[in-house]
């Protein structure tokens, strides 16, 4: 009898041990299940912390059960009712929301978790993932500002985190900050030179470099040699961006150098055919004057330096010499408004800009017309008449686009952005700025035309209490500005 009882006890103990081993073997953490769910579907671009590599292959949410990876279904069945009074429970719910395509819920729940655990950099990383993904799926560029801020914070606290560095590079891409994106991918590859993730990073690094190289190739079409310009096919001969170089290098030689005269004549003809702008043609048709040419170049150089006193003196000097050259006179008036902008003389600026806009429209000088109207808008802003300033920009935008002046159109959008930022239109300005920067990288424009967008976004980010995003955008604006030779930013 005793032996029988001992046997039963031993059998029971053995069963208990076996059950414990089984339970331990089948105990799966929510973290491991969610990593597996991400690996099996990868429904968004950002890396999930600790997850194995998977190619981006999902373009829709996983809300329907037949779309969901088995690991996600298991996670929901085991852990679908977390404690929402604790940061860990909120975090788990937000993770499930993110994998299920509930983007708004994911962001708001991660934010609640951050309120309870504000100093957790791994939580910043996941919150940034939610912002980046919502920005992609709901086309909300403002979310990229928040994503960049939290990724940058995470990188500062977790410098060896491959996920933080990988996702930071993605955020730079979304904001069209291609030099920063290229450098961020490079730094990631220094951390992870050989893995499936590094292959994806390397492809993005090459793409970022190709965008920068393509713009430089377009810039090479701008030439200082008149013979080279004459040899360009029409499809590669620039007008708006070429004009400054042409005036600087060819204007004073037109009487002694046939190639310079021919190149200027070709450029004038292209302005008429492409933009219906007769300004250069009319300037060249007036009696030649070396003194007038020097005065025009001095004015353009003063405007480039954005020195108001120098600009006003130079515009007055050109106007005094332009008695028989209407094109020179109207250019003097247009450049005077630029000087008045920087000296903050709003009333005088409005008067001169209005007159120049009207007279240049009559003369078929659309560049001066739209430039003068833009200066009028800026000076309305200086006069604290922001609704009128914005209305001026909005009413003229279609005409600027129709004129075909890409650089002027970008400046126009930058001023529009500045007015809207000051009026608090945050949702719209991030979309406008990102579109503007995207266009910049596709055009042969000088860096100063880029500066206004990160500059304004930096100020907008500061208003949203996003210090890292503000800093990184300010740095991008400063680096672009440093290569221009200009002393001031373009946007008002």
Q: Tell me how far apart the alpha carbons of residues 426 and 429 are, in angstroms, rounded to a whole number.
A: 5
Per-residue pLDDT averaged across 459-477, rounded? Answer: 96
Check residue 488 and give its pLDDT.
54
Is the per-residue pLDDT at 23 higher than 50?
no
Check residue 486 and give its pLDDT.
55
Per-residue pLDDT averaged across 91-101, rounded? Answer: 93
416 backbone dihedrals φ, ψ, rounded to 5°: -55, -45
| Residue 485: C-alpha distances to residues 265, 270, 303, 358, 481 (Å) | 28, 28, 12, 32, 8
Largest CA distance in the chain: 130
344 backbone dihedrals φ, ψ, rounded to 5°: 65, 30
* Percent of the chain topping pLDDT 70: 89
Model pLDDT for residues 282-304, shown as the tens digit of each residue: 999 999 999 999 999 999 999 98
Per-residue pLDDT averaged across 128-143, rounded? Answer: 97
| CATH architecture classification, 289-394 | Alpha Horseshoe (1.25)
Is the per-residue pLDDT at 401 higher than 80?
yes
Length of the chain: 492
- Cβ-contact 312, 339 below 8 angstroms: yes
Model pLDDT for residues 148-204, shown as the tens digit of each residue: 999 999 999 999 999 999 999 999 999 999 999 999 999 999 999 999 999 999 999
Mean pLDDT of the chain: 89
Check residue 14 and give its pLDDT.
39
Give one DSSP letter per residue of 2-55, joined into a string. HHHHHHHHHHHHHHHHHHHHHHHHH---HHHHHHHHHHHH--SSSPPTTPPP--
Check residue 18 and give its pLDDT.
32
Q: Tell me how far apart the alpha carbons of residues 309 and 319 are, in angstroms, rounded to a whole number.
A: 16
Is the per-residue pLDDT at 426 higher than 80?
yes
Domain layout of the chain by residue ranges: 68-118, 221-275, 289-394
Q: Tell me how far apart the alpha carbons of residues 38 and 44 are, in angstroms, rounded to a whole number.
A: 9
Model pLDDT for residues 223-269, shown as the tens digit of each residue: 999 999 999 999 999 999 999 999 999 999 999 999 999 999 999 99
Helix or strand or coil: residue 378?
helix
Check residue 425 and give its pLDDT.
86
Record the tokens describing residue 224, joined without a space: 């200082």
Is the per-residue pLDDT at 110 higher than 80?
yes
Is the per-residue pLDDT at 424 higher than 80?
yes
* Direct distance between the N- and C-terminal alpha carbons of the chain, in angstroms, rounded to an integer: 99
- Cβ-contact 37, 99 below 8 angstroms: yes
């Amino acid at each position: 009898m005793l032996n029988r009882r001992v046997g039963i006890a031993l059998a029971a103990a053995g069963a208990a041990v076996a059950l414990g081993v089984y339970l331990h073997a089948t105990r799966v953490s929510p973290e491991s299940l969610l990593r597996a769910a991400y690996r099996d579907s990868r429904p968004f671009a950002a890396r999930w912390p600790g997850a194995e590599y998977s190619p981006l292959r999902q373009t829709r949410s996983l809300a329907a059960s037949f779309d969901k990876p088995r690991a996600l279904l298991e996670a929901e069945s085991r852990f679908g009712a977390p404690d929402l009074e604790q940061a860990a429970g909120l975090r788990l719910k937000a993770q499930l929301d993110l994998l299920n395509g509930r983007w708004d819920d994911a962001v708001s729940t991660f934010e609640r978790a951050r309120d309870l655990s504000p100093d957790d950099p791994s939580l910043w990383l996941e919150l940034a993932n939610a912002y980046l993904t919502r920005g992609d799926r709901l086309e909300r560029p403002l979310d990229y500002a928040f994503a960049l801020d939290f990724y940058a914070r995470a990188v500062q606290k977790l410098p060896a985190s491959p996920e933080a560095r990988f996702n930071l590079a993605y955020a730079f891409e979304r904001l069209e900050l291609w030099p920063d994106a290229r450098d961020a991918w490079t730094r990631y590859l220094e951390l992870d030179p050989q893995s499936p993730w590094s292959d994806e990073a390397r492809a993005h690094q090459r793409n970022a470099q190709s965008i920068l190289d393509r713009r430089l190739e377009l810039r090479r079409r701008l030439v200082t040699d008149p013979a080279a310009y004459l040899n360009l096919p029409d499809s590669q001969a620039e007008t708006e961006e070429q004009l400054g170089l042409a005036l600087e290098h060819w204007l004073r030689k037109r009487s002694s150098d046939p190639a310079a005269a021919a190149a200027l004549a070709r450029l004038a003809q292209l302005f008429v055919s492409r933009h219906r702008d007769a300004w250069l043609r009319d300037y060249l048709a007036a009696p030649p004057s070396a003194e007038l040419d020097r005065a025009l170049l001095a004015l353009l150089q003063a405007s480039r330096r954005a020195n108001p006193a120098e600009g006003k003196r130079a515009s007055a000097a050109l106007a005094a010499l332009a008695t028989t050259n209407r094109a020179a006179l109207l250019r003097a008036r247009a450049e005077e408004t630029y000087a008045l902008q920087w000296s903050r003389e709003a009333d005088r600026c409005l008067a001169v800009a209005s007159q120049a806009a009207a007279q240049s429209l009559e003369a078929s000088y659309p560049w001066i017309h739209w430039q003068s109207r833009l200066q009028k808008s800026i000076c309305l802003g200086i006069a604290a008449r922001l609704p009128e300033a914005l209305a001026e920009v909005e009413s003229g935008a279609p005409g600027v686009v129709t004129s075909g002046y890409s650089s002027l159109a970008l400046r126009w959008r930058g001023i529009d952005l500045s007015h809207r930022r000051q009026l608090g239109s945050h949702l719209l300005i991030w979309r406008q700025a990102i579109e503007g920067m995207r266009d910049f990288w596709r055009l042969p424009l000088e860096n100063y035309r880029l500066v206004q967008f990160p500059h304004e976004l930096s100020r907008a980010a500061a208003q949203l209490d996003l210090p890292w995003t503000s800093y990184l955008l300010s740095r991008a604006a400063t680096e672009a500005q440093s290569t221009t030779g200009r002393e001031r930013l373009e946007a008002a």
